[in-house]
């Protein structure tokens, strides 16, 4: 059973078709990187998969449970409770961190598991401290976001996503707001998660990283999937557009 399965998603903004007909699936333990030029629909695809955007047409299933169906050329969404359950399967790490400025680091990580998942506070806090150690920030539990560097904020955001114990983690260009040195901090953490077989979908501009860490690479262009294959196949592709794009890297 696929962790997530997307079939024939379409999405337009006004008259611009951003996703033309996108189908893909991700299996447990897979790392899938999505690459492509700006405006190719990568982030919109992620936002549709995580209910931040409403699809125009197409279906979406988590763990075999279809939450969005395609009916007569339109996407029909399940009930609010059904969607809430589906949201429990994934975590999302944004490019601009999205931390709560008025919560310290520990509370940023523990707030949702305690209040949304109704888990035991002491247990959640213990796990949060373990996650902070994992991302190299065990001394920052009491710090506030304004006291952290961009790389530290993003590592807190990753710890926060992991605290929800998701089956799959989505990353939307997790390093685009960071300078090269801080970028390496984040890529190290993601590589560590990949080594632990965390299921991940990563929208990224870091080609070398995508090549090293991914089981599959999806290359998107103008709202279509041009390539969906193992890194060595994509990087050796004979497709003219793929070669042109990867030629810059």
Among 4, 2, 25, 23, which residue's Cα sits nearest to residue 67?
4
Report yes or no on 83 lying in a domain: no
pLDDT per residue as tens, the chain (249 positions): 899 999 999 999 998 999 999 999 999 999 999 999 998 999 999 999 999 999 999 999 999 999 999 999 999 999 999 999 999 999 999 888 889 999 999 999 999 999 988 999 999 999 999 999 999 999 999 999 999 999 999 999 999 999 999 999 999 998 887 888 888 889 999 999 999 999 999 999 999 999 999 999 999 999 999 999 999 999 999 999 999 999 876
What was the pLDDT predicted at 97?
83
Residue 215 lies in a domain: no
Sheet strands (E) in the chain: 4-13, 16-26, 31-35, 57-62, 65-71, 74-77, 90-93, 168-172, 200-203, 216-221, 224-229
Number of domains comprising the chain: 1
Q: Is residue 86 part of a domain?
A: no
In 10 A of CB 80, how many CB atoms?
8
Q: Is residue 9 part of a domain?
A: no
Write down the pTM of the prediction. 0.93
Is 51 a member of any domain?
A: no
Looking at residue 244, its pLDDT comes to 93
Domain assignment of residue 144, given as a range: 91-165
pLDDT confidence of residue 98: 87
The pair phi, psi for residue 143, each rounded to 5°, is -75, 160
Distance of alpha carbon 54 from its chain centroid, rounded? 17
**Is residue 217 included in any domain, yes or no?**
no
pLDDT of 48 reads 97
Report if residue 157 sits inside a domain. Answer: yes
- The residue among 212, 214, 219 whose CA lies nearest residue 246 is 219
Q: For 50-149, where are the alpha helices, taking DSSP H only?
A: 80-87, 105-115, 121-134
Residue 122: inside a domain: yes
pLDDT in the model for residue 17: 94
């Amino acid at each position: 059973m696929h962790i997530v399965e997307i079939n024939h998603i379409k999405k337009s903004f006004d008259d611009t078709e951003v996703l033309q007909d996108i189908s893909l699936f991700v299996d447990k333990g897979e790392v899938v990187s999505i690459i492509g030029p700006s405006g190719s629909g990568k982030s919109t695809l992620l936002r549709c998969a995580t209910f931040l955007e409403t699809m125009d047409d197409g279906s979406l299933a988590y763990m075999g449970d279809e939450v969005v169906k395609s009916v007569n050329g339109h996407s029909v969404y399940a009930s609010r409770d059904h969607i809430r359950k589906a949201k429990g399967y994934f975590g999302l790490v944004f490019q601009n961190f999205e931390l709560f400025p008025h919560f310290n680091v520990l509370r940023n990580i523990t707030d949702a598991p305690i209040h949304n998942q109704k888990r035991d506070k002491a247990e959640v806090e213990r796990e949060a401290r373990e996650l902070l150690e994992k991302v190299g920030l065990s001394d920052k539990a009491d710090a506030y976001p304004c006291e952290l560097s961009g790389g530290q904020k993003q590592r807190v955001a990753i710890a926060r996503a992991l605290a929800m114990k998701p089956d799959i983690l989505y990353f939307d260009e997790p390093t685009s707001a960071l300078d090269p040195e801080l970028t390496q901090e984040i890529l190290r953490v993601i590589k560590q998660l990949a080594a632990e077989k965390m299921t991940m979908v990563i929208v990224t501009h870091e080609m070398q990283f995508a090549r090293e860490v991914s089981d599959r690479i999806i290359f998107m262009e103008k709202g279509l999937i041009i390539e969906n294959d193992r890194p060595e196949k994509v990087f050796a592709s004979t497709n003219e557009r793929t070669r042109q794009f990867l030629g810059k890297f």
